[in-house]
Structure 1
Amino acid sequence: MNIYVSNLSYAVNDSDLRDLFGEYGEISSAKVIMDRESGRSRGFGFVEMPSDTEGQKAIDELNQVEYDGKVINVNVAKPRTDRPRNNNYNRGGYRSERKY
C-alpha cells in the first residue's frame, strides 16, 4: 500500500518516517520529498507498506495526529497523473519564435 503523508515538519527526514510507520508493520520504503533547488523538505512524503492491512491501520491511527509539532495528514496515495510538460514554450512573450 502506498501512503501519502502531508503537513510534515521541515525537520522530518526519511528515517523519521520509517520509524513512525514502522510501529505498524513492515516498511518497503519511506521518502520525504525534497525541493530540487533549495534541498529543503517540501513538507510531504510517501511510505510504502507491503501489507494493506498494516498500511490501513497506520493511516487510521496516524491521520490528524501531531508529529514533530505539526498535525499530519495521512491518506492512501493516489496514482500520479501525467501532466503535460511546459518546456517554457512561448512563455510570456507575444512572439513564439523569440530566442531566450
Structure 2
Amino acid sequence: MKLLVRNLSRSTTEQELRILFSEHGTVTECTLVLDQATGKSKGFAFVGMPNEAEAKKALSSLHETKVAKNKIRVKVAQ
C-alpha cells in the first residue's frame, strides 16, 4: 500500500520518514518529493508498505501527529 504524507517540514529527510514509518512495519519505498530547481523538499512524500495491515496502522497512528513542528497528514495515495 502506498501512503501520501503531506505537510512535512522542509527539513525532514527521507531517512527520518523511513525510521518513523518503520516503527509500524516494513517500509519498501520512501520517496521525498524535491523541487527540481532548488533540490529542496516540496513538503510531501510517498511511503510504500507491502503489508496492508501495517500500512493502515501507520496511517492511523501518524495522521495529524507533529513531526519537526509540523502536523503531518497521512492518507492512502491515489
TM-score, reference length from structure 2: 0.98
SS of equivalent residue, structure 1 residue 8: coil
- Determine the structure 1 residue equivalent to 2:43: 43
SS of equivalent residue, structure 1 residue 33: strand
What letter matches 2:46 in structure 1?
F
Larger RCO of the pair (alpha carbons < 8 Å, separation 6+): 2
TM-score, reference length from structure 1: 0.77
Given that 1:13 and 1:31 are in contact with CA atoms closer than 8 Å, whether structure 2 keeps it comes out as no
Provide the aligned length of Structure 1 versus Structure 2.
78
- Determine the structure 1 residue equivalent to 2:13: 13
Gapped regions of structure 1 (runs ≥ 5):
79-100
| RMSD, aligned α-carbons | 0.4
1:77 is displaced (CA, Å) by 0.3
Gapped regions of structure 2 (runs ≥ 5):
none
What letter matches 1:7 in structure 2?
N
Inter-partner Cα distance in structure 1 for 2:30 and 2:69: 20
Bigger-Rg structure (1/2): 1
